[in-house]
Amino acid sequence: MLAPTIMVQGTASSVGKSLLVTALCRFFSREGIRVAPFKSQNMALNSAVTADGLEIGRAQAVQAEAAGILSCVDMNPILLKPEGDRRSQVVVLGKPIGSMTATEYHEYKPRLSTVIAESLARLRADYDLVVLEGAGSPAEINLKSRDIVNMHVAKLADAPVLLVGDIDRGGVFASFVGTLELLDPDERARIAAFVVNKFRGDIALLRPGLSFLIERTGKPVLGVVPYVSNLRIADEDSVSLDDRRARRRPSQHELDIVVVRLPRLSNYDDVEPLEHEAGVVVRFVEQPDEVQGADLVILPGSKNTVSDLAWLRARGIATAIEVRAREGKPVLGLCGGCQMLGEVIDDPHGVESAETRVHGLGLLTLRTQFQREKITAQVRARVLSPSFLTDGVAIEEDVTGYEIHMGVVEPRGPRASPFEIRSRNGRMVATADGAIGGAVVGTMLHGLFENEVIRARTLAFLRKRKGLSECSAPHRIPSKQAEYDRLEAAVREHLDRELLWRLARLRSSSPG
């Protein structure tokens, strides 16, 4: 017998669907239910690697972790990774099948229905409950004829739908009513309840609106979820970076860490642990004058290294980074950023562009050659050579992280490497990673700052370099598990739990 399902859809993108699914996975898991997340199609540049080396959206990996289970490719069978020029890399069951324009993919989507159905069926056979997540809005009428992520999945799974709206944006009641008006009658009947998300005010002032919504639609409000600030949970897409743009400049007693906001920036959650450290301000910037005075500049991952390297040069940021390097000021390249810092990028198969060879910034003695096969792996590594990442000293304990890249990065002549990869997806290897060139360090490892020892040593180095006292030493930031609990507690308190249990079709009411 297949497990029941419940689905979270939204009135728009970025209304909090992913976080609500994360909270529900945590809630049901804490109630003793074996629960799994599912999103048929995800469009995101933040991705994750499963234990068997397959690529899925970061949000589904987070949701699985909140549920206390290992992520698997069935939780996100289709991942779209935008490449620019209206194209996306299409990843199916964890492996890329090619690059398509929006029109090409729209025509291709019907072929993926079987993949979606089979992945969902496997999850429903293995778990007690599957929490489904939609994308964008179910009322995007221009896309409904080939929908494979919203009502198509709800019907496939016979799932009641929770419709989420973001009150922080304003117009939430119009969004709810307007969405219902644009749905077909059978789809409208599938909407089981509303969830008002990101509420900051006095609930008494909201009640007249809630009463109107119930009377107008005949549907209940499952709850009003408060805005939960400073959550240490990875964002699904780059919309959240707009808030970071306006982040204040640090004082003289704080560290200023600047991340270059590349046009095709990916896996920007690499720096998220740094954002939660006391006395640290992380800013995403796009101008060269923001680069020179920072305590650390990070060149992050990129979905298209060649195009973003050209953008760096056109913006003048490449020159600013080169000046920093000559002055001995720290620069860190992560994945695509590491490739940009190297000497040469070869693309003989046209994986990223029509240019078969471009020159990097030449700050690291590395050569990148793009291959047709993507490398996706969970890795364990050891520190091979001291750098500012280790405060200039050796570290004995292993470092964990993951790789997602098309290019093979190789040394050009003698050089020191910051790390040696010791295992990929559980298979023992001995592969030097990245390079060190003075104050410039490059690595292909994502998730580096999730390692407390690397984060603490890096910040210690930067503080000493800036002349800050040791009283500003790094503190222990909240664990992911603690943050999942904090999110779940906020949702638990503000949802009608008895209604939630009825909609999940597991038991008549919550035990507490």
Q: Which residues are catalytic?
A: 335, 446
Tally Cβ neighbours within 10 Å of residue 369.
Answer: 17
Residue 89, beta-bridge partner list:
81, 99
Please identify which residue in the block is written with the tokens 């240019």: 355
Contacts of 75 (CB under 8 A, 6+ apart): 36, 37, 38, 39, 56, 60, 61, 63, 64, 119, 123
Residue with tokens 């920007």: 268
How does strand 47-49 pair with strand 87-92? Answer: unpaired
Residue that the structure tokens 């008549």 belong to = 508
Instruction: Determine the residue type at 396.
Output: E
**By C-alpha distance, which of 165, 178, 174, 167 is closest to 203?**
167
| Structure tokens, 112 | 């993926």
How far is Cα of residue 244 from the mean position of the Cα atoms in its chain? 15
Neighbours of 119 (CB within 10 A): 20
- Give me the DSSP letters along 101-122: EHHHHHHHGGGGHHHHHHHHHH
The CA distance from 288 to 278, in Å, is: 26
Instruction: Tell me the CA distances in angstroms from 98 to 11, 80, 108, 307, 308, one per residue in order.
Output: 31, 10, 12, 18, 20
Cα atoms in the 13 Å half-sphere on the side-chain side of 137: 19
Burial bucket for residue 463 (CB in 10 Å: 0-12, 13-18, 19+): buried
Bridge pairing between strands 419-424 and 427-433: antiparallel
Contacts of 419 (CB under 8 A, 6+ apart): 381, 382, 383, 384, 399, 432, 433, 434, 443, 445
Rg (CA), the chain: 23
Residue 69 DSSP code: S
The half-sphere exposure of 407 on its side-chain side, counting CA atoms within 13 A, is 35
